Structures are given as structure tokens and as C-alpha cells.
Chains A and B, each alone.
Chain A
Amino acid sequence: DAKTTQPPSMDCAEGRAANLPCNHSTISGNEYVYWYRQIHSQGPQYIIHGLKNNETNEMASLIITEDRKSSTLILPHATLRDTAVYYCIVHSGNTGKLIFGQGTTLQVKP
């Protein structure tokens, strides 16, 4: 699976959009981009995934660049409950063998 690079930490003001970047320059054509988050003391939670088109669900939006070498997870109106570690994972999707990196710690501040 392709390696991902994320900033270790980010801050965001409550009510503002949180934009979390991820670089995956070695992604293969059949690999998807997945995002999970882990709130303190809980298990990780699936957020969203995409292949090449932008995706949106009730939790977030995923923007993937045209060359697929990077992506951005957008939380449109961050709340204090969105404070968590966010993991970007690249995987072919045919198995469940996900490799979690160190992720980005997002701190939403009042």
C-alpha cells in the first residue's frame, strides 16, 4: 500500500471549516483514499473514502486532486467534538488490511 504523509497537528476554531491534508504521491491506480478518526479513548471511526472523484457524506467531504497524489478532508463546521486524531490511509480496498500511520491531531478550539 502507498505511504501517506500528514501534518502531526492542526488547530481549528469552532464553527470554522477544518481542512486536513494528506499526501500520497505513490498511490496506485486501483488504490482508494480512506479517512478514519479516533476520538480520545475510543476506537477509530470510519469517515469517508474515495477513488478519484470528490465525495461528501453527512460527516465530511473528501477532495482528491486530479493527479491523485494528495487529498483533503474537510469538516465544514468543526465542533469541539471533532477534536481527534485523523488518519489518512491508502488501500486497494479488496481486503480489510488497513495500515494506520501517525495521523493528524486536530484540536478544535472555542
Chain B
Amino acid sequence: DAGVIQSPRHEVTEMGQEVTLRCKPISGHNSLFWYRQTMMRGLELLIYFNNNVPIDDSGMPEDRFSAKMPNASFSTLKIQPSEPRDSAVYFCASSSTPKPYEQYFGPGTRLTVT
């Protein structure tokens, strides 16, 4: 099995630019999670989807962040406009009912906003 796939692995952009992070969950998994990790704040859950529907987006920092899941095999996390404080590693994870707690994480995208 391929595991969770994220792209790009590294992204460097200038402040004010739009950034799109992509995730392909494990085939057959029906839950998808976006996390952000920084040294200061640790690993934070931003949003999660169940059966392609956003269930909880209370962790999304502000309106500059948006996430979509148009189908079961693809999700995006968009930041527009990006700011230096958005620099972090963004992880995508997936899981399947009845084990939503057993999440499989992707390799992450390291985002640097200058």
C-alpha cells in the first residue's frame, strides 16, 4: 500500500502568495485530517473530514486558511495570502471507521514563507 501521499514535500514562497498543499489518503480510508506542527505550538489539528464532509474546522487559524475534499482520494489545504507565521510542517493523515483514532500520517509538507 502506498500510504498517505503529500505534495509538495517542501514549499518556499513569499509573503502574500497563495499556497496549496495536497494530500491523497490511503485508499479505503474515509476520514482525513490536516495538522500543523511548529516548535512553539507543537502538533495541532486544523480540520478533519469524514466521508468527504468537513466535520470540525475549529482548529483552522483564520479565514486565510481553507480546506477542501472534492472526492475520497484527494484533499487540499490552501493558504491565501500566506504570512511568515504560517511557516510550519503540515501533515495530512487518514483513518477508517471504526478506528478513527488509528491515523496514518503522510511525510508532511515543510512550508517556509519569507
A residues within 8 Å of B by Cβ?
32, 34, 38, 41-46, 49, 87, 91, 93-102
**Chain B's interface: helix, strand, loop or mixed, by majority?**
strand
**A32 to B43 alpha-carbon distance, docked (Å):** 20
Cβ of B105 and Cβ of A45 under 8 Å apart? yes
Q: For residue A93, which residue of chain B has the nearest CB?
A: B101
B residues within 8 Å of A by Cβ?
4, 31, 33, 42-45, 48, 50, 55-56, 91, 93, 95, 100-108
Partner of B95, one of A43, A49, A96: A96
Q: Which residues of A contact B108 (CB under 8 A)?
A: 41-43
Q: Which residues of A contact B42 (CB under 8 A)?
A: 100-102
Cβ of B31 and Cβ of A96 under 8 Å apart? yes
Known: A97-B48, A98-B45, A101-B42. A32 touches B101 (CB 8 A): yes
**A48 to B43 alpha-carbon distance, docked (Å):** 19
Cβ of A98 and Cβ of B107 under 8 Å apart? no
Cβ of A44 and Cβ of B105 under 8 Å apart? yes
Cβ of B48 and Cβ of A100 under 8 Å apart? no
